[in-house]
Amino acid sequence: MDRRSLGVALFVALFALTSCADDDGQADTSDGTSAVDSSGSADSTGGCEPMDVMFADVDESPCAPLATDFVPGEDDMWPACVADSGEWTPVEDDPPGAADRSVAYDDILALLRSGTTPTADDFNMARTRYAVGEGLESRLVRREDVHFPVIPMADQDPGVDFDKQCTVADNTTAYPDRCAGPAKMAPLINDAFDAGTTGMGDPNVHAARIDAGIAWFMFASTYKEMASCVQLPDNCDSSRGYFQGAEPRDQPNGLGKQIRDISPMAYNAVYDGMLALRCWRDLYPGDMDPTWEELMTAGQDAFASAQEQLDNALWYAMARLVREHIVQQPAECGSAADANWAYLKVLGPVLAPEAERRNSVDATTLAATFAAETPPAPDVLQACVAAIDALFPCPQCDNCTVEGYPY
């Protein structure tokens, strides 16, 4: 049975173990009142009327690969390699465990974000899928965001692998940005599961926070696994598994499918960025076991170029995902509006480190917007979208650089 079939089988089995939802399908809040309308405009009955707010269209027509980018099958600066086919050639024979984690993300969304208010049983089933052995939770609780500085050697535990230093409790406390998985993502997701399973607050808000937290993890994991595949070649495969389930290019699931549904250009730019690192891995095979120093200048420069191509594409993809939810906000009412804003308050600030590197003024606009407890006025949302468009106009960024390696 393949991994997709296993995921579906588990999904069905979980459903069979649960009771039916309430007949009316309505959510209760912790005090028995209905959810408060927080978007749109109030009508004469005190309800919510969705607002039709105009946002600028996205223009991707000026976007094009940089001279240093890898472009599959094209006459670029890269030597011929296995990635020129435009499809992924696995580094290892066994499918990456990350692929099932991508399927698990979709299974959780099917339970919690299907368009109907999730029940406590839905949260229980989703948590089971999240916490399955070697599943999402097992990696999320140790995930590092390698966009932030590496933990100093003096604070690293020599008895712990280089890429698992965030399992050290003191490091999680001292370096919460680097140790984003255990310090930020896990508490956020656990709190939302706790509230959802016990019937506290708005279930749609809790579901949105879980959705955004896992999307954040998938984004961070895609980049982190590529960064560490210098020392761990099979992590190249894992990166693709986290982003789109290690599926054929035109059949993504998980985060990759969400991105492709919004912007095929963004999705393909990320895929080509992953292929750039697969090309690098082909030119510098893992079975040669080269250290970073042994790669010499040519190998290091090629890796840095591929890493930057992927990084810029990923930032653009996440910016498009956040932008899509901002544009939706004025059209939502009641619980849906609260849930959409809860999602944005998790995922919007993820753009902060790259936004600050690119333009501090626009970054301040983003930070102020997502700091609001309730959805801001339409003009504030429009200004936020304009700032995102200025910060992330294309999947390529000629003047942007990543921190480099070692990560």
Q: pLDDT tens digits for 391-404?
A: 999 999 987 866 55
Mean pLDDT for the stretch of residues 179-191: 98
Identify whether 13 is part of a domain. Answer: no
Confidence (pLDDT) at 291: 74
Confidence (pLDDT) at 5: 43
Confidence (pLDDT) at 21: 37
Confidence (pLDDT) at 342: 98
Confidence (pLDDT) at 230: 86
Structural domains of the chain, count: 1
Identify whether 48 is part of a domain. Answer: no
Q: pLDDT tens digits for 277-335?
A: 999 999 988 666 667 777 888 889 999 999 999 999 999 999 999 999 999 999 999 99
Confidence (pLDDT) at 34: 29
Domain that holds residue 196: 69-391
Mean pLDDT for the stretch of residues 53-58: 94
Residue 141 has pLDDT above 90, yes or no: yes
Identify whether 157 is part of a domain. Answer: yes
Mean pLDDT for the stretch of residues 356-371: 97
Confidence (pLDDT) at 49: 77
Tell me, letter by letter, the H, E, C secondary structure of the chain.
CCHHHHHHHHHHHHHHCCCCCCCCCCCCCCCCCCCCCCCCEECCCCCEECCCCCCCCCCCCCCCCCCCCCCCCCCCCCCCCHHHHCCCCCCCCCCCHHHHHHHHHHHHHHHHCCCCCCCHHHHHHHHHHHHCCCCHHHHHCCCCCCCCCCCCHHHCCCCCCHHHHHHCHHHHHHCCCCCHHHHHHHHHHHHHHHHHHHCCCCHHHHHHHHHHHHHHHHHHHHHHHHHHHHCCCCHHHHHHHHHHCCCCCCCCCHHHHHHHHHCHHHHHHHHHHHHHHHHHHHHCCHHHCCCCHHHHHHHHHHHHHHHHHHHHHHHHHHHHHHHHHHHHHHHCCHHHHHHHHHHHHHHHHHHHHHHHHHCHHHHHHHHHHHHCCCCCCHHHHHHHHHHHHHHCCCCCCCCCCCCCCCC
Identify whether 399 is part of a domain. Answer: no
Identify whether 211 is part of a domain. Answer: yes
Residue 79 has pLDDT above 60, yes or no: yes
Confidence (pLDDT) at 400: 80
pLDDT band at 24 (very low <50, low <70, confident <90, very high): very low
pLDDT band at 45 (very low <50, low <70, confident <90, very high): very low
Confidence (pLDDT) at 6: 41
Identify whether 139 is part of a domain. Answer: yes
Identify whether 25 is part of a domain. Answer: no
